[in-house]
Amino acid sequence: MINKILSDIALMSAIGSVLALIMVIAQRWLSNYGEVKVNINGKRELTVKGGNSLLNTLSDQQIFIPSACGGRGSCGACKCKVESGGGPLLPTERPLLSKEEISGNIRLACQVKVKSDIAIEIPESIFNIRRFNSVVEEIIDYTYDIKGITFKLTDGQSIDFKAGQYVQLESQPYEKIKNKVVRAYSISSKPEYKDRIQLIIRQVPDGICSTWVHKHLKVGDKVNFTGPYGDFYLRDTDADILFVAGGSGKAPIKAILEHLKEVGTTRKMTYFFGARSLRDLYLTEDMQALEKVFDQFEYVPVLSHPVAEEHWEGKTGFVMPYFKDAIRDPKHTEAYLCGSPGMISAVTKALKEYGLDEDKIYYDSFG
């Protein structure tokens, strides 16, 4: 009886294997789409080998559309307009697209397969995104769970970015981690450095990339990243500025301030940094040093839960009540926020109540 069952299983497995082999062979011959043309913004035409996803096809051509999930069709970050040749909308795309996006021919680049000539529209800024090779030059422990890592570009590469933008770092396999993962981190160094960037990276609970950075990355290691991405950057006006950040949200603000130190500014600036307790504060001396550099700059750390033994004499609680003294003309003030969605939401609400225009509140939210 047992022998009969096992022989039946063996027979079924053999049939399955043969069918799989036939499918692989068929895929090889039938899925050969040859060369196809990708027209971008009606201005540029690429000739590529068909059969790959649009996301990977563009990536092979050094055109990097942002993607948070590595092309698994689950984040919805790689949206782009497909004017023609994208084939029908797939069930895997529909949940991540709004009705307006669907009617506007927006697709997920990771799900669209390039089988024939295709015409797409992507923002011009994407052409500035490059893949960089680097080595780790310096690692600084800022707090118990935050590190600052400087990556020196190699192979004669240089990077152009706006202070406030971010890159996508590629981790390497380690321990039980078999595959690379890609994670976004804001650049914390000034854009005047063309041959290096610094990132401020917090250890995330059970995080693949942050664990790699915190436990395995060492000076001299080779690391790749793509960028720059994002539209969080300082607007070139003469308005007063409120910076508000928490945790690793200090990174883009640090980049903006270091940039302003290079180019000079007479703008009135106040920087509120929210942290839980004293051990969560970092770069305090650097920020206080900037108070001597700029004519009108104040750094205001605010602790939500200071520990009694730390004898904190600074500001406590939420950051919002302290805005009042910093805003002299709400209609001539811009705000730049970086941190958790809760912080962004609370601060935005408070700023609007103080009279700031919503379109002058710029933010980089973690959520």
Partner 1 sequence: MAWMKTKSITTVLGDIMKKTPSEKKIQAKMQPGIITYGGFLGTDKRSYLQIIADDEKSLEALGKTAEELADRLEYFQQVSFDSFEAQAVVDDKWEVETEVVRGYLPCPFMHQGMYRKSYTTVKNLQSQKSFTFSSLNIHLIRVHHFFEGRNSHFRLDPAEIVKELF
Task: Pick the closer one to partner 1 by CB: 264 or 367.
Answer: 367
Q: How far is the CB of 354 from partner 1 (least distance, A)?
A: 17
Using CB under 8 A as the binding rule, the residues of this chain from 101 to 140 that contact partner 1 are none
| Binding of residue 363 to partner 1 (CB under 8 A) | no
* Residue from the set 4, 179, 324, 359 that interacts with partner 1 by CB under 8 A: 179
Q: How far is the CB of 123 from partner 1 (least distance, A)?
A: 22
Alpha-carbon distances of 26 from 13, 19, 21, 35, 357, rounded to whole Å? 20, 10, 9, 19, 60
| Binding of residue 95 to partner 1 (CB under 8 A) | yes
| Binding of residue 366 to partner 1 (CB under 8 A) | yes
| Binding of residue 202 to partner 1 (CB under 8 A) | yes
| Binding of residue 143 to partner 1 (CB under 8 A) | no
| Binding of residue 89 to partner 1 (CB under 8 A) | no
Q: How far is the CB of 268 from partner 1 (least distance, A)?
A: 26
Task: Pick the closer one to partner 1 by CB: 43 or 178.
Answer: 178
Binding mask 58-77 for partner 1 (x = CB under 8 A): ----------xx--xxxxx-
* Residue from the set 123, 314, 341, 355 that interacts with partner 1 by CB under 8 A: 341
Q: Which stretch binds partner 1 (CB under 8 A): 45-53, 79-87, 124-132, 207-215?
A: 207-215
3-state secondary structure the chain: CHHHHHHHHHHHHHHHHHHHHHHHHHHHHHCCCCEEEEEECCCEEEEEECCCEHHHHHHHCCCCCCCCCCCCCCCCCCEEEEEECCCCCCCCCHHHCCHHHHHCCEEECCCCECCCCEEEECCHHHHHCEEEEEEEEEEEECCCCEEEEEEEECCCCCCCCCCCCEEEEECCCECCECCCCEEEEEECCCCCCCCEEEEEEECCCCCHHHHHHHHHCCCCCEEEEEEEECCCCCCCCCCEEEEEEEHHHHHHHHHHHHHHHHHCCCCCEEEEEEECCHHHCCCHHHHHHHHHHCCCEEEEEEECCCCHHHCCCCEECCCHHHHHHHCCCHHHEEEEEEECHHHHHHHHHHHHHCCCCHHHEEEEECC
Q: How far is the CB of 88 from partner 1 (least distance, A)?
A: 17
* Residue from the set 92, 125, 157, 296 that interacts with partner 1 by CB under 8 A: 92
The answer to whether residues 57 and 114 touch, using CB atoms and an 8 Å cutoff, is: yes
Alpha-carbon distances of 15 from 8, 272, 275, rounded to whole Å? 11, 67, 62
Task: Pick the closer one to partner 1 by CB: 205 or 264.
Answer: 205
* CA proximity to 349, closest of 314, 319, 326, 329: 319
| Binding of residue 172 to partner 1 (CB under 8 A) | no
| Binding of residue 5 to partner 1 (CB under 8 A) | yes
Helix axes 284-293, 250-263, angle to 10 degrees: 30
| Binding of residue 360 to partner 1 (CB under 8 A) | no
Q: How far is the CB of 14 from partner 1 (least distance, A)?
A: 15
* Residue from the set 100, 206, 236, 285 that interacts with partner 1 by CB under 8 A: 206
* CA proximity to 117, closest of 56, 30, 45, 15: 45
Task: Pick the closer one to partner 1 by CB: 206 or 238.
Answer: 206
| Binding of residue 345 to partner 1 (CB under 8 A) | yes
| Binding of residue 308 to partner 1 (CB under 8 A) | no
Binding mask 236-265 for partner 1 (x = CB under 8 A): -----------xx-----------------
Q: Which stretch binds partner 1 (CB under 8 A): 22-30, 131-139, 341-349, 354-362?
A: 341-349
User: Which chain residues interact with partner 1 by CB under 8 A?
Assistant: 2, 5, 9, 68-69, 72-76, 92, 95-96, 175-179, 183-185, 202, 204-208, 211, 247-248, 304-305, 318, 340-343, 345-346, 366-367
